[in-house]
Amino acid sequence: MPPLEVLQFPDPRLKEVSVPVSDVDDALRALADEMLAVMYDEPGIGLAAPQVGHAIRLVVMDTDWSDEGQDKDPAVILNPEIIEREGKVGWEEGCLSVPDFTAEVERSAHIVVRYQDLDGKEVTEEVSGLRAVCFQHEIDHLDGVLFIDRISRLRRSMYVKRRKKQLRQEEEPASLGS
């Protein structure tokens, strides 16, 4: 199997709604392991399966980790759903699938999320802060939503224009000179 590659905006696969995971098997465990390796390598604190071309409700996260040497505490999350929301918080977000851009996004300050782990055990977790923001960001990916869909139309259109220009420049053949 070829190594996983993070899809980048405007790849249309990022807009697909993911299907629930029904069976935990060796292939799913291998995908989760590969996703964790990609997440740490990029580096990031969360990665959803749609970002690597798999339209399933699988997320990997490690909100305590940074590339400055902290211990890793990875979580593999299947079929997450937010069952309660409270309050509002603005958070500066970035995304491995939205290169070279960050923006403040309004999120729920506190959430209760329900999901399954790799053993099929149901987990209910009450979270706030970075972990709550990360859950909301990654669940958005599972629903075909990018964080740039949650910012002002003006900021989003400016990014889209810049990204299209960047992609055109990457596609232009290098000029041949002496």
Per-residue pLDDT of 53-82, as tens digits, reads 999 999 999 998 876 767 888 999 999 999
Helices (H), 88-152: 129-142
Confidence bin at 118 (pLDDT 50/70/90): very high
Residue 93 near residue 105, CB atoms below 8 Å:
yes
Can you tell me which residue has the tokens 């069952």?
Answer: 83
Torsions phi, psi for 153 (to 5 deg): -60, -40
Nearest CA to 58 out of 19, 94, 27, 25 is that of: 19
Q: Which whole number is the average pLDDT over 23-43?
A: 95
Q: Which whole number is the average pLDDT over 104-114?
A: 98
Confidence bin at 175 (pLDDT 50/70/90): low
Question: Structural domains in the chain?
Answer: 12-170 (3.90.45.10)
DSSP state of 118: T
Rounded Cα distance, 90 and 106, in Å: 4
Residue 35 has pLDDT above 80, yes or no: yes
Cis amide bond preceding 10, omega within 30: yes
Tokens of 148: 């740039």
State whether residue 112 is helix, strand or coil: strand
CA dihedral 55, 94, 43, 172 (to 10 degrees): 80
Catalytic residues: 138
Q: Which whole number is the average pLDDT over 36-61?
A: 96
pLDDT digits (tens, 9 = 90+) for 124-163: 999 999 999 999 999 999 999 999 999 999 999 999 999 9
Residue 36 near residue 24, CB atoms below 8 Å:
no
Confidence bin at 178 (pLDDT 50/70/90): very low
Give the residues across from 19 on adjacent strands.
56
Residue 37 has pLDDT above 90, yes or no: yes
How high is the pLDDT of residue 65? 80
How high is the pLDDT of residue 74? 94
